Amino acid sequence: MTHLSTWKVVTLDSPPWRPMLTLGHPPPRGRHSSSSTRYVEVQVLLRDKVALVTGATRGIGRAIAELYLDHGATVIITGRDARVEAVAVELGERAHGRVCNGLDEEGVDAVVTETVANHGSVDILVNNAGIARDAMLHRMTLEDFREVIDINLQGTWLWTRSVVRHMRERGGGNIVNISSISAKAGNLGQSNYAASKAGVIALTQTTAREGARHHIRANAICPGLIRTSMSSVIPPPAWQRLLGDIPMGRPGEPNEVAQVALFLASDMSSYLTGTVIDVSGGRHM
Ligand SMILES: NC(=O)c1ccc[n+]([C@@H]2O[C@H](COP(=O)([O-])OP(=O)(O)OC[C@H]3O[C@@H](n4cnc5c(N)ncnc54)[C@H](OP(=O)(O)O)[C@@H]3O)[C@@H](O)[C@H]2O)c1
């Protein structure tokens, strides 16, 4: 396992969780820092890897795709409509967008087959695509229950099955599943969502057990309250109540989940499988 290093330009006024990253160029002679930039040598963790990130048109999935690209991977992103292609263009030449609804069994298999044909393998799968349809249990419709289970759990299962077939043949791979803190503690109005995400944890652990002898690792992340379009619909009083439950007193940013997804996808976590990591500012610790 080799970690290649490269140079990173850190813009000092950027938040610590999203430094500017420029790969490949050492600093000009004698310019190790200036008033606004600093050059540091960093390890590129995913060089030459091929990653498939589902639901990466925005939010956490997009942040993961961006960070994997920064770390040298080729990244295939999926979304439900043609906007995904425009997002891939924005992300750069190593990003490729594919329209694929996670409910479409044949579509999922086709994206995996096409990725292997075009790029040689799928080294990393991130099951990120997900939705919420919140309502208190006594008001929730069967349709909303089914839709959430179908996309969050069945979709994750379909991608995992397809990729595991390929990873077993090629002798290894790495799967990162995005679950939720709701899976562990439940949440008001989220009987469908919490159940789907608990299923994702059980699926992760089973994939890890079945995959270990084939050098396939599978781990899950449980984000807490992360600032994305999914959480933007939370009404202000509920948002304040949620903040009160978070020891760190603030929501997380998509990139703070992406950093953990990078760790799990890289050799830095080579002895981790079947684990579930909370990224929640201490909520429900
Ligand atoms: N935000 C939070 O506080 C939070 C907390 C815990 C867990 N999570 C989990 O983190 C993941 C990402 O959430 P987010 O907050 O980033 O949500 P988001 O901003 O709403 O983004 C969701 C992404 O999933 C895609 N997607 C949804 N349904 C899909 C389907 N059937 N097929 C393909 N793609 C689909 C969307 O793409 P298109 O709409 O373009 O198709 C979009 O790219 C989800 O699994 C979510 O459950 C989020």
The alpha carbon of residue 263 and the mean position of all alpha carbons in its chain are separated, in whole angstroms, by 11
Pocket lining: 83 vs ligand 1, CB cutoff 6 Å: yes
- The pLDDT of 223-248, averaged and rounded, is 96
What is the Å distance from ligand 1's center to 153 Cα?
13
Gap between the Cα atoms of 8 and 11, Å rounded: 10
pLDDT of residue 43: 76
Answer yes or no: 193 catalytic: yes
pTM as predicted: 0.91
Share of the chain above pLDDT 90, in %: 84
pLDDT of residue 20: 42
What is the Å distance from ligand 1's center to 33 Cα?
38
1 pLDDT higher than 70: no
Higher-confidence position of 8 and 98: 98
The ligand 1 atom nearest the CA atom of 57: 43
pLDDT of residue 41: 64
Domain 45-279 homologous superfamily, CATH: NAD(P)-binding Rossmann-like Domain (3.40.50.720)
Q: What is the per-residue pLDDT across 110-150, written as a single tens digit (0 to 9) for each?
A: 999 999 999 999 999 999 999 999 999 999 999 999 999 99
pLDDT of residue 3: 42
Please report, for the chain, the start and end positions of each structural domain, with discontinuous segments joined by +.
1-44, 45-279
pLDDT of residue 40: 62
Pocket lining: 229 vs ligand 1, CB cutoff 6 Å: yes
pLDDT of residue 29: 61
Pull the structure tokens for residue 123: 């080294």
- Position 2 confidence tier, pLDDT thresholds 50, 70, 90: very low
Residue 263, C-beta contacts closer than 8 angstroms, at least 6 positions apart: 269
Residue 15, C-beta contacts closer than 8 angstroms, at least 6 positions apart: 253
CB of 68 closer than 8 Å to CB of 262: yes
- The pLDDT of 174-190, averaged and rounded, is 97
